[in-house]
Amino acid sequence: MPEGDSIHRVARNLQALVGERLEVETPHPRAAVLNIAERLDGQRLERVEAVGKNLFLRFEGGLTLRSHLRMNGRWRVRPRGEPLRGRPWLLLRSRELEALQWNGPVLELSDSILRRLGPDILERPPRIAAMTYRLLRASGLPLAEALQRQELVAGIGNMWAAEVLWEVRLSPWVPVRDVSDGDLERVLREAHRLMSSALGGSRPARRAYRRAGRPCRRCGAIILSLGQGDANRTAYWCPTCQPPPRSSSSTISST
Ligand SMILES: [Zn+2]
């Protein structure tokens, strides 16, 4: 699933269409029923911004289109008029470029979700205190799960949660209440640092994410994985560098 850095990259690519009146089409039937083309066709795109995993396209007249890619959605910007294979959900054409949105699955003319999102981890500078305060509201949640709750901190997904916690040597299973404020701030600063650097084009080799069964790059212990939380996302961690919390060490068995 694309995380905040990928969505910020899409926002950056879409800047090339800002300021122009766009031709708007919704070739895919599931998008055609949303009446987006009727409302936006011919309107000037004023601004594109990413907040967490959401993309907001702001048009003149106050309309905002929100896109969320979930697992399979994607955007592409290319020169106008290249042959079209398949049916994108959305096609935005400026004089020279076109932006294609494939597979939806979330397109809506609303930004009401902004009221429910936490601060974006990629904001510059990051609002560390505000994010720490929100995380503390989820004191009973395992740390990796809390980091992925978009209403607490927007933009972090499963991959970055795993990578960041490996870097700071904290277990994904430690309940937020057992993490010091200083450590929470350290986690958030590291997330901001790693994701900003990925947005800037630097993609270091993965340390933990999808490395179950392989040796830790720091200590050689075998990386473990186990489903976590309501969404049963998979947590990845090094049992030596990121020792389990004492209170629950007996309940975590791993694969
Ligand atoms: Zn290790």
Gap from CA of 167 to ligand 1 centroid (Å): 10
Domain boundary among 99, 115, 131: 115
Gap from CA of 131 to ligand 1 centroid (Å): 27
DSSP 8-class letter at 113:
G
The dihedral over CA atoms of 172, 174, 177, 178, expressed in degrees to the nearest 10, equals: -130
> How open is the CA angle 105-70-237, to the nearest 5 degrees?
165
Cβ pair 26, 38 in contact under 8 A? no
Gap from CA of 207 to ligand 1 centroid (Å): 9
CATH of residue 52: 3.20.190.10
Gap from CA of 157 to ligand 1 centroid (Å): 21
What CA–CA distance (Å, rounded) separates 107 from 114? 15
Indicate the pTM of the whole model. 0.92
Exposure pattern of 191-212 as b/e (b: 16+ CB <10 Å)? bbebbbebbeeeeeebbbbebb
Cβ pair 222, 214 in contact under 8 A? yes
- Report, as ranges of residue numbers, the positions in the chain whose pLDDT lies below 70: 247-255
Number of domains in the chain: 2
Segment 130-184, tens digit of pLDDT:
999 999 999 999 999 999 999 999 999 999 999 999 999 999 999 999 999 999 9
Domain boundary among 88, 115, 142: 115
